[in-house]
Each structure stands twice: as structure tokens, then as C-alpha cells.
Amino acid sequence: MEFTSRQIAELLGGRVEGDESTKVNRLAKIEEATEGAISFLSNPKYEHYLYSTGASAVLVNNSFSPKEPVSTTLIYVEDAYASLSFLLEEYNRMKTYSKIGLENPHFLSENATLGANCYVGAFAYIGSNCKIGDNVKIYPHVYIGDNVSIGSNSILYSGAKVYADCQIGAHCTLHSGAVIGSDGFGYAPLSDGTFKTIPQIGNVILEDHVSIGSNTTVDCATMGSTVIHSGVKLDNLIQIGHNVEIGKNTVVAAQTGISGSTKLGENCMIGGQVGIVGHITLADRTSIGAQSGVGGSIKVSGKAFSGSPAFDYKTNLKSFAVYKKLPQLMKRIEELEEKIISLTPVDLTK
């Protein structure tokens, strides 16, 4: 997508100083910008970059007046930083929702329904009885099993996989390689040492505004539903076990694993590479530090934990500080033992 400085200025209600026909097709930082990029100057600390920038156009505040000659096109706006955020949003919206229509070949089951303004990329697969809302973007190689519903404005990037019977809400994003609804890990040991597979016949429900990162896996429930409530954001390569429930607006960083039947509260912040055992409950607004291992329920809301197994965050910091000095501590104990011996009276009666 390409725009002239004049079009940008009109969009932002601004004024151009310089060549109104300069074309821009991307956003960039003022110190890294090259031809075709539009940048912004808000913090006076970066003003010196303005005089040497490669940007084709730069947003500046109405209150700004250059101290040196400027070769790039300037677009004067009320608030350069806010205008940039606005442009970012617009650019992102156009980029994300611009694809419309059906590419061939695709596979759309006869009794599946598609809303208005959808995109179905080549090689995408939509199974029987699927209900796809308006403005849903289904990229190439996406697989949607039978009986799946997807709410409006959701985006499934190339290669996302949704098993049969799952429900995806509105405004959800599934990145490439995300797997929704694969079998939970349930096996019953038999007396001969082999394992019997426990049928996993439940599904996954993603409510609205849920984001699932690349290659993240969310297992279906053994029976019932694994539920990811609205507003939850999962980063890449996360594992969510069967029958897990994640409360509204909880955020989980990359490579974390949550075992079966565990329930996370709302607005929790879970760091990267955390492990959480099965069948426990975490209270609302719990924070877990990266690489921690949570082995039991957390009942009081709003607390921070770290370590493996995890305990109170600050206490852990203190224990770790001592851990780093353990060899010296050992030496001090040995010295104490020697001194004690030297102080102990010799028993002359023996």
C-alpha cells in the first residue's frame, strides 16, 4: 500500500511542508528510515536525526520549528506521537483485513456457511457444518474440522489447525501452527505395562478477543470443554492441557505449560517457560516468574511467586542470594566447628 504525503496529511488533519506528492509505503524509526518510509519526531532529544534522516516524510508537532534546513517532507500535526499510533493502527487494520474472497483450490464443505467479506486462502479446508462469521480471514493451509464455529473478525493464519467440534469466538487470532483441540494426554496403565488410551471426546472453547501464538497447542477436554475466556493472550509454543480453564484477560508468555484440569483466574500474568501442575487453581491477578514450577493451588489473589517449586517471589530472591554464597557458608560452618573443638574443655577424667 502506498500513499502520498498529501493523503497522509488529509487522513491526520495535518499540513504538508515540502513535496506533497512524496510517496510512502511503510513506517520506520527516524534513525533507521530509508526512502519510502514515513517517520515521526516527538521527543526533542531525537531532533538531530531529522536533519539526516532517509525518511521520505516525517510527522512533527505543530509547535515544532526546525533549527536547520530539512530535506525531507514534513507533515505538521497536533500530536506527532498520537498521529503515528493512529497510522500504525490503520496500517495494521488494512494489512490484516485487506484479504477478501476465495482463492482456488480451497475445500469448503457443502453444508458449511461463510459470512460476508471472508477470505479463504488456497488449500484452506473447512469441514461439515462449520459456521464462519463475517469478516473472518482464513489463510492458506488452515484446517477447520467438522462442526466448528468461528465468530466474526477472527483471523486464522496459515497452517492453524482447529479440530472438530471446537468453538472460536469473535475477534480471535490464531497464528501459524497453532493447534486447537488435539487429544488430551490421558492413558490408563494396564497390568502388562502397556497403556490404554482414555477417549478424549470433549472440545475447546475460545471466547472473544483471544490470541493464540504460533505453534501453541490447546488440548480438548476429556469430556466437556477446555475453556479460554475472553481477552486471554497466549504467546508462542505454549501447551494447554485437557480441561484447563483460563480466566478473562490472563496473559501467558512463551513456552509455558499448563497441565490438565488446572484453573487460572482472571488477569493473571504468567512468565515464559513456566510449568503448572494439573488439578490446581490459581487466584485472580496471580503473577508467576519465568521458569517457575507451580506445584499447588494459590488461593490469595494478587500475589507474586517464583522458583521451581514456586514460592513467594521476594523470599525466593533472598534464598537465591544465599544460594550463590553456599560454598562460603560451608567454609564458615567448618571454621565454627574447629573453633568449638578448640573451646571445648578436655575431659581429664577419661
Question: How far is CA 45 from each of CA 30, 41, 49, rounded to the nearest angstrom?
Answer: 12, 9, 9
Please report, as residue ranges, which positions from 157 to 196 form the binding site for a copy of itself (by CB under 8 A): 157-159, 161, 163-164, 173, 175-177, 179, 182-183, 185, 187, 193-195
Q: Give Dmax (Cα) for the chain.
A: 108
Site for a copy of itself in 32-61 (CB under 8 A): 32
**Residue 224 sits in the site that holds a copy of itself (CB under 8 A):** yes
**Considering only residues 23, 248, 263, 303, which one is a binding residue for a copy of itself as defined by CB under 8 A?**
248
Residue 194 C-beta: closest distance to a copy of itself, Å: 5
Among 107, 134, 296, 299, binds a copy of itself (CB under 8 A): 107
Where does residue 271 fall: left (phi above 0), alpha (psi -120 to 50 degrees), or beta otherwise? beta
15 or 318, CB closer to a copy of itself?
318
Active site residue 171: no
Under 8 Å between Cβ of 84 and 33: no
With CB under 8 A as the contact rule, the residue among 153, 231, 245, 262 that binds a copy of itself is 231
Amino acid at 101: G
Distance between CA 264 and CA 280 in Å, rounded?
8
297 binds a copy of itself (CB under 8 A): no
Query: Smallest gap, in angstroms, from Cβ of residue 337 to a copy of itself?
Result: 7
Report, in Å, the least distance between residue 111 CB and a copy of itself.
15
Q: Grid coordinates in use for 142? A: 488452515
Chain residues 200-219 in contact with a copy of itself, contact rule CB under 8 A: 200-201, 209, 211, 213-215, 217, 219
Q: How far is the CB of 10 from a copy of itself (least distance, A)?
A: 21
Terminal CA-CA length for the chain: 98
**117, 236, 281, 301: which one binds a copy of itself (CB under 8 A):** 236
Strand 3-4 with 23-24, pairing: antiparallel
171-174-175-179 Cα dihedral, nearest 10 degrees: 180
Verify binding: residue 89, a copy of itself, rule CB under 8 A.
Answer: yes
* Binding flags for a copy of itself, 110-129, as an x/- string (CB under 8 A): -----------xxx-x----
Say which residue the cell 467438522 belongs to: 146
Q: Which amino acid is at 1?
A: M
Residue 239, classed as helix, strand or coil, is: strand
Catalytic residue IDs? 242
